[in-house]
């Protein structure tokens, strides 16, 4: 069996639609999910990806450090 046969391409930011990002940001800001729960639920690989979306698309102040 070839080791490279089952390689999964890494996802990039471009894989997520704006509608998906806005929906996820809304869920987090309403308290339905934490950032880490959303990351696990939706299979988002990057640790800072959701924080970037929250800063860009959210209505809360996500620029300061959050204690979770």
Confidence of residue 45 (pLDDT cuts 50, 70, 90): confident
Residue with the larger pLDDT of the pair 15 and 44: 44
Write the pLDDT tens digit of every residue in 15-39.
Answer: 789 999 999 999 999 999 999 999 9
To the question of pTM greater than 0.95 for the whole model, the response is no
Helix (H, G, I), strand (E, B) or coil at 29: helix
Asked if 38 and 28 touch (Cβ cutoff 8 Å), the reply is yes
pLDDT of 43: 87
d(CA 48, CA 13) in angstroms, rounded, equals 11
């Amino acid at each position: 069996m070839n080791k490279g046969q089952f390689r999964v391409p890494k996802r990039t930011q471009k894989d997520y639609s704006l509608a998906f990002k806005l929906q996820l940001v809304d869920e987090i800001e309403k308290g339905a999910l934490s950032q880490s729960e959303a990351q696990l639920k939706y299979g988002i690989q990057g640790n800072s990806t959701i924080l970037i979306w929250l800063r860009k698309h959210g209505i809360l102040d996500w620029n300061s450090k959050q204690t979770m």
